[in-house]
Amino acid sequence: MTSELLRKAMEVTVASTASGALVPLDTSLSHLVGERGCRFELRHLLSATPKHLRASGPKPNPFLPWDQRLEVDRIGESHVVILNKYPVQTSHMLLITQDWQPQTGWLSLEDWHSLARIDATTTGLWFFNSGPDAGASQPHRHLQLLPRLEGERICARDDWFRCCAAGTTTSAQDPLLRSARVAPISSTLTGEMLQALYLALAEDLGLGHPSTDDCPREAYNLLLTRQWMAMVRRSREGIHGFSVNALGFAGSLLSTDASDREWIHRFGPEALLQAVVDTQD
């Protein structure tokens, strides 16, 4: 059954594509076999490189104001759902704050309340990139949602996250867990529960707490489903020409002509993930 929000997103997709406000990215899809047989998705960008993937520098805030042609719905007085202007997947949505809030700041209870309100009817893979070193392309607060229908696989590495949440995978078995934490979720998502879990993961990773730190001490990625929440501490945005955001840890990687695809085929996708969490020399 299609939710009202997802139905609206589909309608806005048609209209915004016709008007030119939506610019879907053209990619080719291949797969990389990682450890324990996990199949990563590797999409190679065929379209012209969008602005948010080019070299960084001063640029206007695209969310203040946001493009009304991409608006899907208002969530209370504090948030709005819009379409990702440059999607790879249809109905890729952003949950943004209506007023300025920094991407590098702590996620607020209002952020979590808005997310839970949406997820009650439209679920999928939520993710957040805390700043440039975590793959964030914009400084204005935005969480992202890739919708999933009932029975559809959440992400390529869902089994990995479930095993970590269950405690059957440890840091001794997988060094990535030295920089990542995964917690199980067994109840309906609420703002209070999500905020408490988020802050607990942040403290456990050494990122601090809002009571003592104005913002998290290091960059991180956050991933969330109805079954688990994961947080990954980051040391760098990318390496070998690959930019890595939260979706990389979900098993979806993007390459451009600047990416060393020979390297990733030789060493494997997990080596790329490990390289962006390891402390730089």
pTM listed for this prediction: 0.95
Buried/exposed 215-242: b ≥16 CB within 10 Å, e otherwise: ebebbbbbbbbbebbbbbbbbbbbbbeb
How large a percentage of the chain has pLDDT more than 70? 95
pLDDT tens, position by position, 45-59 = 998 776 655 555 556
So where are the chain's domains? 4-47+65-277
Tell me the fold of 4-47+65-277.
HIT family, subunit A (3.30.428)
At 201 the pLDDT is 98
Q: How far apart are CA 248 and CA 237, in angstroms?
A: 11
CB 193 within 8 A of CB 208: no
pLDDT tens, position by position, 188-233 = 999 999 999 999 999 999 999 999 999 999 999 999 999 999 999 9
